[in-house]
Structure 1
Amino acid sequence: MATNHLYLVDGSGYIFRAYHRLPPLTNRNGIPAGAVYGFTTMLWRLVDDLHTADGPTHLAVIFDASSHTFRNDMYDKYKAHRPPPPEDLLPQFPLIRDATRAFSVPCIETEGLEADDIIACYARAALAAGWQVTIVSSDKDLMQLIEPPSDRHGGLDMLDTMNNRRLNGADVIEKFGVPPEKLGDVLALMGDSVDNVPGVPGVGPKTAAQLINEHGDLETVLAAAGTIKKPKLRQSLIDHADNARLSRELVRLVCDRPLPEPLEDLALKGIPPKPLRAFLEEQGFRTLLMKVGGGHDVSPKPAAAPATPEEEPAFVHADYETVVTEEALDRWIAEAVARGAVAIDTQTDVADVMRANLVGIALAVAPGKACYVPLGHSGEDLLSDPPVQLPRDVALAKLKPLLEHPGVMKIGQDVKYDLVLLARNDIALAPVDDTMVLSYDLDAGLAGHGAGDLGVRHLGHQAIDFKAVAGTGRNAVGFDKVPVPRATEYAGEAVDICFRLWRRLKPRLAREGATRVYELVDRPLIPVVGAMEAAGIAVDRAGLVSLSAEFAGEIARLEGEVHELAGGPFTIGSPKQLGEVLFERLGLKGGRKGKTGVYSTDMNELERLSLEGAPIAAKVLEWRQVTKLKSTYTDALQAQINPATSRVHTTFSLAVAQTGRLSSTDPNLQNIPIRTALGRRIREAFVAAPGKVLLAADYSQIELRLAAHMADVPALRDAFANGDDIHSLTAQELFGTVDRDTRGKAKTINFAILYGISSWGLAGRLGVDRIEAQAMIDRYFDRFPGIKDYIAETLTTVREKGYVSTLFGRKTHLPGIKSSKQGDRQSAERQAINAPIQGTSADIIKRAMVRMPAALTAAGLSDVKMLLQVHDELVFELSPDQVEAASAVIRTVMAGAAEPMVTLSVPLGVEIGHGHSWGAAH
């Protein structure tokens, strides 16, 4: 019998078993570590706790080096349907390799080969040397290697640690009906949907085993296919013979490659305590640490607790390293990979990400441990030489594997900017965490989420002001002109702050119930929105020029009419002059002055005056709208056309709107009037590229549908289920008759109620007195008592907790609910009534956006591009011949976006249109 017994651990299989075995945990650095802990305990048992008679003399843990192997070159669809690893597992991959090395156990992986192939190579070499081999796995592909003991070697079996049983040839026969040496032929015939091995359609395990047992091997089966009696099976074998042969090669294990490490180097020599203790201390695994006698070295705080400022080094700008050599950059990259997490911040010469040039990249791998890699700094003036720095191509080539490494979490503050910028430099930044979005999902409504605010609030540290680095006004310079030492201080501090914030914010997700909305809604949205910004949208420059001229004429006309009504010229855009004209020159009633002594002339005040019969107020409102549309859109859009792409690239903000909605700037798409003729004219300026059309998909009355579900209103639910007109239903309930007037009023009431409108507010919108408006609200609540109950329960909740939540768990904090000022409390109450509904609507369209690219790709429509998201609407660009197929996919994704997190009792209606312009599509 063999004296040497080699254990080969399928590390990849172990990882997933460990991941699903334990609940989510984080280590003392805030990094997910449940799989690391499970893997460590399982490996420890193999290395140290197995009975000596069954234990190994040699052992190695084998991992997959990457997802791409020679099988992908052989068949590009191999494993194409496998979902990516869970996001919280990705940063654990390098830590698991660290755990293996901490046991002083070989950790082996080879580019281009799967772990199964490396195991096969070692197994064959060990058997040839006369050893006994045990493969620690239950993978069916590895069962092909099982051999009984012989006079030449000790045999090969498998150990299924989950079920604590050993597998031999008899177990293979019992499971698959053939011995191990014929299992590959069976696997080739039956295929594998998980790995996307095609096989032969209609052939399952039993049929495959029967065919192999009758004919001997795969080629003989295919040669005899024409003689098989069952017609469907016969034809399937004939039609798919090539796929069967391809499948045989896909499941065949490589056994003849050179061994990465000699067999002798796999000898077990016990567990040296020092490296293991260091690893366990770093992770905060106190229970395991006691096994090596070092429990007193671990901090007594729970592993998942956030770090505190006292435990971290102070901010010392002189400690940040300027990286200007390849050796130094290699050192930082290696440490980032080893730690499994790195904060990143890019620096550019201008703010516009689609026009910016990369000037430098900052990295942080621990609190106080940061560097800056200058890449595009020039001299401070025309006479000075550029500073010493790495060539950009060299540095990016080295950084690309790190920034794309699936096992290293990249942390950023508004990381979408870095993602878009790096994508322009052929780097696909992933996976990512975003401290801005983390703060937003945890503390929306409490404070700002910018780096400066977060640094002060969570770290007690005031960061260097960018203006102090790059100057202001005439003295302002691009970051490329900032001296490298000063740039290192600024960029190093920024990324250091980011890393420290991540350590505090990420562990709070689970404790405060924000994991679902962050992991399943907002974080996966970051690259999707980044791609939309990079795609941009075309605009009709000539149409904008014409529209600007038309608006200028309209503004002049309105200005003349306002001056005539005012009895003389004045500056309409001056609130002071307008207030004096309205309330002093014309003597209109109700004027109120603010602290500055100027009359209020905001939209509410002008709407009030208009309803009370002052035509000048209506004209000023109209003048303001046309003036804003001209300056914000028809004029500004022309300047915003990117000369390199000939498109406009809006910036979507992920952490501004308190309810979870996206907002946008440059241009602000949310403020284009939806239902006015002027708003439609603006939308007509957004056009499709030549040969393309725009498709607009809009949720129909989604907030009313969500109100029907969340407030449990049977009449409204049934109306939506039956496709009835909800506003006509409300008109019938409130007024007893349905006509244009009552339906219009019902529509106003339906939406106004959801925004917590007062009787005064509703009176203003409907042009009735307050008593009649209150009577309408009372009748509404009588007909739909669920809405009244929802409002009462929501207000009770917000007063008790200080926040309200969406169906997906997104919290909106409303500190004004406890204000001593009545106006602030009433405002918070109105927000509380609407936020769960509007926020749930925002969550749903975000989930649709996250799912959309994969769904379109799966349907063969990968070139259909999602360009815009505005309120409840998504805008796509595609070829005319793709409209029908894309519409079906888009409708399905949007209608089912809530599932499976939330099951709604009302259907989500989706309206779709298309045309050359956005206006025509809507």
Structure 2
Amino acid sequence: MRTLYIDIETYSDKDIKCGVHKYVGSNNFEILLFAYAFDNEEPTVIDLTKYKTLPWVVVDALESPDVLKTAFNANFELTCLAKAFPNIKLDDSQWECDSILSLYHSYPPGLGVVAQCLGLEEDKQKDIRGKTLIKYFCVPCKPTKKNGGRTRNLPEHDPEGWEVFKEYNAQDVVAERAIREALLWLKPTEAEHELWLVDRAINSRGIAIDKALVKNAIKLNEEYSEELTERAQKLTALDNPNSIAQLKEWFKMNGHPVSSLTKDVVDEMLQDENIHPVLKEVLNIRQKLGKTSVKKYEAMKSSICKDGKVRDLFQFYGASRTGRWAGRNIQLQNLTKNYLDDLDTARDTVKSGDLAWTEMLYGNVTDLLSQLVRTSFIPSLGNKFIVADFSAIEARVIAWLANEKWRMDAFANGEDIYCASASQMFGVPVVKHGINGELRQRGKVAELALGYGGGVQAMKAMGGDKLDMTDEELQEIVNKWRAASPKIPALWRAIEFAAMRTIKYGGTHYVIREHNIFFDKHDNDLILHLPNGRCLVYLNAGIGENRFGNESIEYDGLVQTTHKMGRLETYGGKLTENLVQAVARDCLGAAMVRLEKAGYKIVGHVHDEVICDVPDNGQYTLSEAVRIMSENTDWNQGLLLNADGFESYYYMKD
């Protein structure tokens, strides 16, 4: 089969950060350059500002099932081509994405970055020059006297730069091809490609927005913020009470110096009974004004397409160590939970746009708006949402992988895992809201904190600091939990042992032969093979020394604090976390494919939950969606899956 490599350069007056569908929805969108190459041929660049059409040989290839089409961000190319050339019959299944191929290998996103990591592109100045030309030709420019007041730069405004831009376009095809050739030794499985196609459909389908709710939420937030700011100005006599520097100085002058005004510091100060009421009121105002979740309404407003939907909210393979999705734009992955009893009334109140009425009913308007963010997502006209969520998926997966029988029995019997864990740890029956029910919270904290090698500090991070226990008592819970589930610590040790042996000696080393989980090595890359055939890659893995002076596993990855590639350290517990979350992700992916095939059209997914937009005619039911999600596949037989959910006419946290 021939391969057609493609790279395009485009113009739009809409920000690409709001999604490619919003970007191409502009009346001013156009494809400027179309660079392509068949197999190992030299690239050709079509200047679409001149010719307005593609050569027949390219059109024929784009429509042919016998030609594989690739691009570094195929989602972008496919969406742009469909918009610019609606008469060309494009079939997503004939495309592969080399950005996904790179992410599969644990490289960071970005053509230039991956090329540099692979040693294919060394000239950073050249890369900077390319970005300068993109900024010049591909986005609107600021009108000035010098440029004659124009808002866009055309080829005739810099003919020499335009010719250089075409060279860069051609070079991107060369770089993409080189990356693909370097990484094809390990490519996503056919099941992963099918899941990518589902992801394409979800991002293209979009999810409807309650525009009236969004509009009035923004209005109320602006009015309430103005009211709070005026109140803060009267209390502090500061010109700008939102200024952290001015506020810190004001607190110092009032006998209460603070080093910072982060959320945690403000929360702690509000608990101090000795703080003067005026200072406490200012802190309360600061807390309300600092509520960032209401900014999601602005993101929704910016991202709404002409049909009232937002799109491109999910990045396939966004997390390199697990393959989980990452949120984009509105970020559904970190929405505030709602705890209001009557969401219908709250939504109607906000949609009225009456600040005085809203404040009288609910008091803290920013908190109300924060809780209603989820409810801004609504089904299509005549449809309903079916929202289904895996139940305790990570706890189920780790029990299955470690073959911890009492845990699997607890799930089979429908028991509360927190009660079951506490019962196993303390040797007494534990019933939620019943006998020894006070021990359930200890079981819950232990379950959330200790599955991946965590200890006392992990327990504190998961709420153990609220159990009114000393470090010694928390350590005792750690010991009891590990003693109650000995096969889980054994899994930590087994995966670390297998990884280290593979790094040191090469070859194949099994972690769990029954589930076909094993490590092998390619050059210096450590490869973890998952039950469904997918792989996790640890780049340039080696053996280092940890802070305790012991051997540790190191690899190249994206450092969260710098957002640059660097050396990372891992260990048995962390590798187990990667494995468990990757398997849980694959369970969700398989369920998403099944749901789509059954007609349950997915418009969103958050962690282990799916949001389906289906006709409200009785044909689609929650019970059937749960049944589909809970099915096993050939690779996870014996894993006791279960799901739960609800039906609604807006999204919420049930």
The two structures have a TM-score, normalised by structure 1, of: 0.52
Pairing partner for 2:171 from 465, 471, 493: 493
Aligned to 1:531: 201
Q: Is the contact made by 1:571 and 1:577 (CA closer than 8 Å) also made in structure 2?
A: yes
Q: Identify which range, 668-677 or 600-609, moves more after superposition.
A: 600-609
Q: Distance in 2 between matches of 1:874 and 1:543?
A: 23
Aligned to 1:363: 36
Task: Verify: 1:774 aligned to 2:433, yes or no.
Answer: no
Aligned to 2:523: none
What's the CA shift for 1:496?
A: 1.4
Q: Is the contact made by 1:895 and 1:908 (CA closer than 8 Å) also made in structure 2?
A: yes
Q: Is the contact made by 1:684 and 1:917 (CA closer than 8 Å) also made in structure 2?
A: yes
Q: 1:886 to 1:700 in 2, by over 3 A?
A: closer
Q: Is the contact made by 2:263 and 2:287 (CA closer than 8 Å) also made in structure 1?
A: no
Amino acid in the other structure paired with 2:450: I
Q: What does 1:395-414 correspond to in 2, within 5 Å?
A: 395=54, 399-414=58-73
Greater strand content: 2
Task: Verify: 1:641 aligned to 2:310, yes or no.
Answer: no
Q: Is the contact made by 2:225 and 2:289 (CA closer than 8 Å) also made in structure 1?
A: no
Q: Distance in 2 between matches of 1:908 and 1:402?
A: 43
Amino acid in the other structure paired with 2:400: H
What's the CA shift for 1:421?
A: 2.7
Q: 1:396 to 1:797 in 2, by over 3 A?
A: same
Aligned to 1:342: 4
Q: Is the contact made by 2:236 and 2:250 (CA closer than 8 Å) also made in structure 1?
A: no
Q: 1:865 to 1:554 in 2, by over 3 A?
A: same
Q: Is the contact made by 1:781 and 1:787 (CA closer than 8 Å) also made in structure 2?
A: yes
Q: Secondary structure at the match of 2:108?
A: coil
Pairing partner for 2:327 from 644, 653, 664: 664
Q: 1:429 to 1:788 in 2, by over 3 A?
A: closer
Aligned to 2:581: 838
Q: 1:457 to 1:775 in 2, by over 3 A?
A: same
Q: Distance in 2 between matches of 1:828 and 1:622?
A: 41
Pairing partner for 2:388 from 693, 697, 700: 697
Mark the runs of 5 or more structure 2 residues left unpaired by the alignment: 143-150, 341-366, 504-525, 549-560, 562-566
Aligned to 1:745: 442
Aligned to 1:899: 633
Q: Distance in 1 between matches of 2:263 and 2:581?
A: 23
Cα deviations across residues 799-847 of structure 1 (Å, max 9, x unaligned)? 5546756444431538698476679977766643421111111122223
Q: Secondary structure at the match of 1:471?
A: helix
Q: What does 1:560-639 correspond to in 2, within 5 Å?
A: 574=244, 586=256, 623=287, 627-631=291-295, 633-639=296-302
What's the CA shift for 1:497?
A: 0.9
Task: Verify: 1:786 aligned to 2:449, yes or no.
Answer: no
Task: Verify: 1:912 aligned to 2:641, yes or no.
Answer: no
Task: Verify: 1:711 aligned to 2:412, yes or no.
Answer: no
Q: Secondary structure at the match of 2:36?
A: strand
Q: 1:626 to 1:759 in 2, by over 3 A?
A: same
Amino acid in the other structure paired with 1:730: S
What's the CA shift for 1:364?
A: 1.7
Q: Distance in 1 between matches of 2:646 and 2:269?
A: 39
What's the CA shift for 1:619?
A: 6.5
Q: Is the contact made by 1:749 and 1:762 (CA closer than 8 Å) also made in structure 2?
A: yes
Q: Is the contact made by 2:120 and 2:178 (CA closer than 8 Å) also made in structure 1?
A: no
Q: Is the contact made by 2:496 and 2:571 (CA closer than 8 Å) also made in structure 1?
A: no
What's the CA shift for 1:549?
A: 4.6
Aligned to 2:591: 848
Q: Distance in 2 between matches of 1:495 and 1:647?
A: 33
Pairing partner for 1:758 from 452, 455, 474: 455
What's the CA shift for 1:622?
A: 9.1
Q: Distance in 2 between matches of 1:614 and 1:655?
A: 50
Pairing partner for 1:353 from 20, 34, 53: 20
Q: What does 1:97-246 correspond to in 2, within 5 Å?
A: none
Cα deviations across residues 567-620 of structure 1 (Å, max 9, x unaligned)? 9998567489669969996467xxxxxxxxxx6776677788889999979978
How many pairs were matched up?
536
Q: Distance in 1 between matches of 2:227 and 2:472?
A: 39
Cα deviations across residues 824-874 of structure 1 (Å, max 9, x unaligned)? 977766643421111111122223333443x22xxxx4xx53211221111
Q: Is the contact made by 2:317 and 2:323 (CA closer than 8 Å) also made in structure 1?
A: yes
Q: Is the contact made by 2:99 and 2:111 (CA closer than 8 Å) also made in structure 1?
A: yes
What's the CA shift for 1:916?
A: 1.0
Q: Distance in 2 between matches of 1:833 and 1:756?
A: 9
What's the CA shift for 1:341?
A: 0.8
Aligned to 1:470: 134
Q: Distance in 2 between matches of 1:488 and 1:831?
A: 46
Q: Secondary structure at the match of 1:684?
A: helix
> Which has more radius of gyration?
1
Amino acid in the other structure paired with 1:873: E
Amino acid in the other structure paired with 1:917: Y
Aligned to 1:220: none
Instruction: For CA contacts below 8 A with separation 6 or more, give which structure has more relative contact order.
Output: 2
Across the aligned residues of Structure 1 and Structure 2, the Cα RMSD in angstroms comes to 4.1
Q: Is the contact made by 1:579 and 1:601 (CA closer than 8 Å) also made in structure 2?
A: no
Pairing partner for 2:181 from 503, 508, 514: 503
Aligned to 1:241: none
What's the CA shift for 1:675?
A: 6.0
Task: Verify: 1:673 aligned to 2:333, yes or no.
Answer: no
Q: 1:716 to 1:367 in 2, by over 3 A?
A: same
What's the CA shift for 1:723?
A: 1.5
Q: Is the contact made by 2:244 and 2:261 (CA closer than 8 Å) also made in structure 1?
A: no
Task: Verify: 1:810 aligned to 2:535, yes or no.
Answer: yes
Q: Distance in 2 between matches of 1:813 and 1:614?
A: 52
Amino acid in the other structure paired with 1:793: A
Amino acid in the other structure paired with 2:308: S
Q: Is the contact made by 1:572 and 1:620 (CA closer than 8 Å) also made in structure 2?
A: no
Amino acid in the other structure paired with 2:218: S
Q: 1:528 to 1:582 in 2, by over 3 A?
A: farther
Q: What does 1:417-456 correspond to in 2, within 5 Å?
A: 417-424=76-83, 425-426=85-86, 427-442=90-105, 444=106, 447-456=107-116
What's the CA shift for 1:905?
A: 2.3
Q: Secondary structure at the match of 2:309?
A: coil
Q: Secondary structure at the match of 2:20?
A: coil
Q: Distance in 2 between matches of 1:675 and 1:407?
A: 50
Q: Distance in 2 between matches of 1:829 and 1:561?
A: 53
Q: 1:835 to 1:606 in 2, by over 3 A?
A: farther
Amino acid in the other structure paired with 2:20: V
Q: Secondary structure at the match of 1:524?
A: helix
Identical positions, percent: 18
Q: Distance in 2 between matches of 1:580 and 1:568?
A: 8
What's the CA shift for 1:371?
A: 1.2
Q: Distance in 2 between matches of 1:479 and 1:887?
A: 56
Q: Is the contact made by 2:452 and 2:576 (CA closer than 8 Å) also made in structure 1?
A: yes
Q: 1:848 to 1:374 in 2, by over 3 A?
A: farther
Q: 1:552 to 1:641 in 2, by over 3 A?
A: same
What's the CA shift for 1:432?
A: 2.0
Q: Distance in 1 between matches of 2:572 and 2:224?
A: 40
Q: Distance in 2 between matches of 1:557 and 1:918?
A: 30
Amino acid in the other structure paired with 2:324: R
Q: Secondary structure at the match of 2:5?
A: strand
Q: Distance in 2 between matches of 1:782 and 1:611?
A: 38
